[in-house]
């Protein structure tokens, strides 16, 4: 962005500066909407044209801090919109909104630059058939199947495992589906970005990954455009390289928030609850580019912050309209050690229908939900009166539900260094088979702990055998000690 402007480029002068909003006057012609303008002694201040005010002036939003900008200063038109770098050289690197690397490594070479403002695929270019995107995570694949080329929302507070879940999906996508992962941090804290970069590096998934950050301390214009830059890179891998892309956005609410700030600075009349009147259009312009075509698919998982847990908030409502699956993380399940800490009764998927995932899978998922829901209803009775007061049928149902909960836990590759348990990737067929066998009471005599943190269901017998041997030795020692005491 610090290249010199062309000789025939338009030149104007600043007529007003209000925070991140800059008004610029041009004597002859006006630059195009979305054109990038440069100002300052070294042209280090970058602004983007958002509206034409009249025949001689434009209103712009700053993408960099505006300190030092004053009325009368010269402004140069770059003649082009905001550009993002694309090419194989962007893999394993971190970028800002301008396409500059921020990982303190040498600049990549052999890149081409594309405008971040691109139209979504037309209806003719999209694939109309829905197919499932396998993650290798049992609970998600069985109960909340994700759509290839779809959008899933990830809801959860701090410390319940959002980042671990995202990291595991990146690992599985890269290692087992030869795909590319792109992480877009919108309004991220620099600490979170640094920690994520180190986690990805240690997990060994960085070589097939790109990271972009529009940090919390940057102007709203920068945070508002970082998502478009990430999508431009994702579209390159989908359309040019013909690879499947996993796009992770954290946090989509901060994109809406940045748009609200821009709207307020531009002087637009606020809409309901203070949000910008153009929120629906702006969100759709970003979300509709995430699509499944004949070349490949961009599958997106987006962290969603719900203001004050109010799901009727306009930001939450507009986001829900675009999602094909909602994954809700539960602090209660995390405290019980049931990881991934996804609440199966609060979460849902729109493609969990017989026509897409098949009748066998659909019937099983409904049976699991029914069993877990009935167990949730019985928990109060168990807490007050104890398990012994239940009928034999209810006791059997509780046993099945508890074994299902433990079977749907899974050791992750990205947490091996912390837990010491080897990560497991479980195919959809193996996950379905295990759940069916538990519901048939095939494992009713097996301790619940044997089903905890395993991959395939057959590993439970091996785990039981390994835990029984030391115990039998200890029991024998205990019997000898009792005999001696007698």
Active site residues: 162, 188-189
Q: What is the three-class DSSP state of 35?
A: strand
End-to-end CA distance of the chain: 87
CA dist 484 and 288 (Å) reads 76
CA dist 110 and 97 (Å) reads 19
Element (H, E) at 38: strand 35-39
Token pair 């002036």 in the structure block, residue:
57
What would the two tokens of residue 149 be?
């080329």
CB atoms closer than 10 angstroms to residue 383: 8
CB atoms closer than 10 angstroms to residue 264: 17
Are β-strands 112-115 and 83-86 bridged in parallel, bridged antiparallel, or unpaired?
Answer: antiparallel
DSSP letter, residue 278: T
CA dist 297 and 309 (Å) reads 32
CA dist 154 and 329 (Å) reads 8
Among 280, 268, 189, 253, residue whose Cα is nearest residue 21:
268
Among 122, 130, 153, residue whose Cα is nearest residue 288:
122
Element (H, E) at 162: helix 162-177
- Cβ-in-10-Å burial (0-12, 13-18, 19+) of 470 comes to exposed
Whether the Cβ atoms of residue 221 and residue 62 lie closer than 8 Å to each other: yes
């Amino acid at each position: 962005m610090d290249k010199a402007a062309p000789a025939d480029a338009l030149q104007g002068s600043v007529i007003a500066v209000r925070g991140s909003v800059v008004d610029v006057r041009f004597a002859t012609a006006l630059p195009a909407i979305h054109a990038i303008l440069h100002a300052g002694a070294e042209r280090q201040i970058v602004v983007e044209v958002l509206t034409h005010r009249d025949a001689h002036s434009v209103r712009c939003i700053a993408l960099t801090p505006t300190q030092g900008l004053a009325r009368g200063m010269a402004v140069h038109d770059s003649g082009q919109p905001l550009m993002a770098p694309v090419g194989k050289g962007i893999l394993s690197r971190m970028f800002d909104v301008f396409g500059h690397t921020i990982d303190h490594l040498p600049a990549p070479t052999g890149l081409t630059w594309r405008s971040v403002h691109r139209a979504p695929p037309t209806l003719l270019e999209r694939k109309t058939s829905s197919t499932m995107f396998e993650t290798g995570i049992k609970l998600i694949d069985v109960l909340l199947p994700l759509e290839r080329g779809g959008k899933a929302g990830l809801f959860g507070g701090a410390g319940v495992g959002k980042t671990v879940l995202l990291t595991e999906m990146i690992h599985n996508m890269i290692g087992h589906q030869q795909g590319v992962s792109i992480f877009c941090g919108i309004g991220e804290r620099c600490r979170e970005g640094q920690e994520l970069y180190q986690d990805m590096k240690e997990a060994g998934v960085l070589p097939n990954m790109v990271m972009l950050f529009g940090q919390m301390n940057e102007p709203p214009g920068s945070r508002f455009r970082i998502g478009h830059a990430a999508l431009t890179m994702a579209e390159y891998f989908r359309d040019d390289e013909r690879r499947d892309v996993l796009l992770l956005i954290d946090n989509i609410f901060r994109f809406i928030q940045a748009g609200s700030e821009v709207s307020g600075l531009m002087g637009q009349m606020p809409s309901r609850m203070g949000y910008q009147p153009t929120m629906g259009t702006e969100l759709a312009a970003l979300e509709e580019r995430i699509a499944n075509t004949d070349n490949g698919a961009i599958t997106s998982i987006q962290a969603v912050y719900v203001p004050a847990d109010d799901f009727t908030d306009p930001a939450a409502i507009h986001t829900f309209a675009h999602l094909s699956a909602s994954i809700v993380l539960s602090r209660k399940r995390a405290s019980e050690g049931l990881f991934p800490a996804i609440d199966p009764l609060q979460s849902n998927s729109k493609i969990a229908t017989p026509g897409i995932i098949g009748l066998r899978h659909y019937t099983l998922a409904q049976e699991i939900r029914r069993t877990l829901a009935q167990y949730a209803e019985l928990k109060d009775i168990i807490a007050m009166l104890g398990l012994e007061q239940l009928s034999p049928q209810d006791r059997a149902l509780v046993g099945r539900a508890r074994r299902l909960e433990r079977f749907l836990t899974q050791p992750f590759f990205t947490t091996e260094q912390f837990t010491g348990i080897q990560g497991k990737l479980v195919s959809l067929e193996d996950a379905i088979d295990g759940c069916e066998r538990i519901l048939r009471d095939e494992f009713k005599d097996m301790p619940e702990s044997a089903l905890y943190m395993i991959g395939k269901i057959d590993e439970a017998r091996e785990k039981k055998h390994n835990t029984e041997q030391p115990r039998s030795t200890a029991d024998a020692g205990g019997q000898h000690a009792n005999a001696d005491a007698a």
